């Protein structure tokens, strides 16, 4: 291979700063958030229908085992998510984010739709749970590239000073999708009644995935590639290292050894966020109805009210993180989880509606601290050329732990008989969050790693350029001061040696 001479860094000028088109940014957020909403629509429906799905697909088991089996079917697909992350991550770094996200959303839509088509155990026996598992595995494979790609898509389209606010809309889509799923289950239950919901009504929410998927495909297919990835490809072509059809490969081993600190931060943040997420939004409905014997309808309404509140808090945290940084929310949310989870579960177990609501509200606010900043942190800690691969792999390996949360907690509560096991579980996870928050670097108001700055307009670009120069000047002054101090130390040492005068 021919070696190239190392050149000096060129001064940054106004034309080097990417100006983000506001219309394209809004379309990118809508397209990305819709896929995430569809993913969590299924999670919401599955979580709120878990007791019915247990009866439909595992009728010979006891009610407790039915619940655990249904939640286990929810958790098993997480085993294939890392594989999906590897495949779609590599494809995303090679061919672009837009193309891969168009593929993941259609696989997710078709597999979710197929769940509604599966006959019951009474009709086809053991093939019913097997087909359910296969559909969930297909979901897991596609989701392996979905969230990571969507977060990258939004981050690479966002101006540096608004990345927290823009990224927060991705998980706004998650909450909205979950809320839509849960609300739809409540609506069906009230319209159809328990008997018809059990017989055939539970299939209807899964059928909605197909039209939603085609809408998402249309929106994503109409978008251009992200500015950051296109800039990366253009730079490769300019340097004549590679053409547009064949990009240099970075091995998974190289990613693991070179970016292990970023991978560790990703793993820690995803674990604390998603364990809290699945605990509150997937497990708690079953916990309220099955373990606390609370009215299923009342439990659903309380959690739906909590999620509506989360929708308003979510973008506010993203916006605030652009002002004060992301780290305060990760550290503060983790400390809050450690200190307030047990009191929250005392209120949840009080059998009083007001206290149950307050306990769930505490968990929801702490969850908002994480999901409000996660989508803006994760893409920023990896460089463009390996961003999709590194994020998708580390994200989905972490989700292996988080995805087991509903099953693990259901088993722990059933085995120990201790209704506070969910609180202890979250407190252990909180420690991981605290360590992660302390170790991570601040990413707010900074360019994505390896990318040039991005601004909303030319006026903002001028401000960024001015601050960039001010920062350089300050660093030069600091270095000059350090040199003076070193020169003084050098002279002091020379004065102490007779032969160095």
Asked whether residue 315 carries a pLDDT value surpassing 60, the answer given is: yes
Q: Encode pLDDT of 329-354 as tens digits.
A: 999 999 999 999 999 999 999 888 88
Asked whether residue 240 carries a pLDDT value surpassing 60, the answer given is: no
Q: Between 298 and 272, name the one with better pLDDT.
A: 272
Comparing 299-308, 321-330, 331-340, 405-414, the range with the smallest average pLDDT is 299-308
The separation between the first and the last C-alpha atoms of the chain, rounded to the nearest angstrom, is 49
Calculate the alpha carbon distances from 390 to 16, 149, 356, 372, 439 in Å: 26, 11, 40, 21, 18
pLDDT for 373 = 94
78, 275 contact by CB (below 8 A): no
CA 278/CA 285 separation, integer angstroms: 11
Q: Encode pLDDT of 66-76 as tens digits.
A: 666 676 776 67
Strand locations in 345-477, DSSP E?
454-455
Q: Which residues contact 210 (CB under 8 A, 6 or more apart)?
A: 109, 110, 112, 113
CA 39/CA 172 separation, integer angstroms: 12
CA-only gyration radius of the chain, Å: 25
pTM for the whole thing? 0.80
Q: How confident is the model at residue 142 (pLDDT cuts 50, 70, 90)?
A: confident
Q: How confident is the model at residue 7 (pLDDT cuts 50, 70, 90)?
A: very low
Element (H, E) at 226: none
DSSP codes of every residue in 2-33: ---PPPPPPPP-GGGSEEPPHHHHHHHHHHHH
DSSP codes of every residue in 429-483: HHHHHHHHHHHSPP-TTSPPTTS--EESSHHHHHHHHHHHHHHHHHHHHHHHHHH
Comparing 195-199, 363-367, 434-438, the range with the smallest average pLDDT is 195-199
| 19 DSSP β-pair partners | 455
Q: How far is CA 155 from the centre of its chain?
A: 12
Asked whether residue 13 carries a pLDDT value surpassing 60, the answer given is: yes
Q: Encode pLDDT of 428-485 as tens digits.
A: 999 999 999 999 999 998 888 877 888 888 888 888 888 878 888 888 888 999 999 8
pLDDT for 6 = 46
pLDDT for 327 = 95
Neighbours of 298 (CB within 10 A): 13
Mean pLDDT of the chain: 84
Whose structure tokens read 């097997």?
130
Angle made by CA atoms 48, 205, 31, in degrees to the nearest 5 = 105
Q: How confident is the model at residue 297 (pLDDT cuts 50, 70, 90)?
A: low
Strand locations in 69-203, DSSP E?
none
DSSP codes of every residue in 91-122: HHHHH-HHHHHHHHHHHHHHHHHHHTTPPPHH
Q: Which residues contact 352 (CB under 8 A, 6 or more apart)?
A: none
Q: Which CATH architecture describes the domain 18-243+255-456? A: Up-down Bundle (1.20)
pLDDT for 239 = 64
Torsion of CA 186, 191, 196, 197, to 10 degrees: -10
Tokens in use for 329? 């929310």
CA 104/CA 447 separation, integer angstroms: 27
Domain ranges of the chain: 18-243+255-456, 460-501
């Amino acid at each position: 291979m021919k070696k190239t001479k190392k050149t000096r860094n060129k001064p940054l000028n106004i034309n080097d700063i990417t100006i983000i088109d506001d219309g394209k940014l809004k379309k990118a957020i809508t397209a990305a958030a819709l896929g995430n909403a569809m993913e969590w629509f299924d999670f919401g429906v599955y979580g709120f229908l878990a007791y019915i799905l247990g009866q439909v697909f595992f009728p010979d088991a006891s009610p407790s085992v039915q619940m655990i089996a249904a939640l286990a079917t929810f958790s098993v697909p997480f085993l294939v998510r890392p594989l999906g992350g590897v495949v779609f991550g590599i494809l995303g770094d090679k061919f672009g984010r837009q193309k891969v996200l168009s593929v993941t959303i259609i696989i997710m839509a078709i597999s979710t739709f197929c769940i509604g088509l599966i006959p019951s155990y009474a009709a086809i026996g053991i093939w019913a749970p097997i087909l359910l598992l296969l559909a969930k595995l297909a979901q897991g494979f596609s989701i392996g590239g979905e969230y990571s790609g969507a977060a990258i898509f939004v981050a690479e389209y966002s101006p540096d000073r608004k990345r927290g606010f823009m990224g927060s809309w991705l998980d706004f889509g998650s909450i909205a999708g979950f809320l839509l799923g849960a609300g739809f289950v409540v609506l069906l239950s009230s319209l159809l009644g328990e008997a018809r919901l059990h017989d055939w009504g539970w299939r209807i929410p899964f059928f909605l995935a197909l039209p939603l998927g085609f809408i998402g495909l249309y929106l994503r297919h109409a978008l251009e590639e992200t500015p950051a990835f296109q800039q990366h490809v253009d730079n490769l072509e300019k340097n004549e290292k590679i053409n547009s059809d064949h990009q240099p490969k970075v091995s998974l081993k190289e990613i693991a050894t070179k970016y292990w600190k970023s991978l560790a931060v990703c793993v820690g943040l995803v674990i604390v966020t998603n364990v809290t997420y699945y605990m509150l939004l997937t497990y708690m409905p079953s916990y309220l109805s099955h373990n606390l014997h609370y009215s299923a309808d009342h439990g659903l309404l309380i959690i739906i009210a909590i999620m509506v509140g989360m929708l308003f808090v979510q973008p506010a945290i993203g916006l605030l993180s652009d002002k004060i940084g992301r780290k305060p929310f990760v550290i503060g949310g983790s400390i809050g989880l450690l200190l307030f989870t047990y009191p929250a579960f005392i209120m949840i177990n009080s059998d009083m509606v007001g206290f149950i609501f307050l306990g769930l509200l505490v968990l929801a606010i702490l969850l908002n601290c994480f999901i409000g900043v996660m989508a803006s942190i994760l893409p920023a800690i990896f460089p463009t050329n390996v961003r999709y691969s590194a994020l998708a792999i580390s994200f989905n390996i972490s989700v292996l732990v988080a995805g087991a949360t509903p099953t693990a907690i259901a088993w722990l509560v059933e085995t120990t008989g201790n209704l506070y096991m969910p609180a202890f579980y979250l407190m252990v996870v909180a420690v991981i969050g605290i360590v992660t928050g302390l170790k991570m670097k601040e990413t707010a108001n900074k360019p994505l790693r390896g990318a040039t700055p991005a601004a909303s307009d030319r006026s903002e670009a001028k401000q960024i350029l001015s601050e960039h120069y001010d920062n350089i000047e300050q660093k030069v002054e600091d270095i000059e001061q350090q040199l003076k101090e070193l020169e003084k130390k050098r002279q002091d040492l020379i004065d102490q040696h007779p032969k160095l005068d």
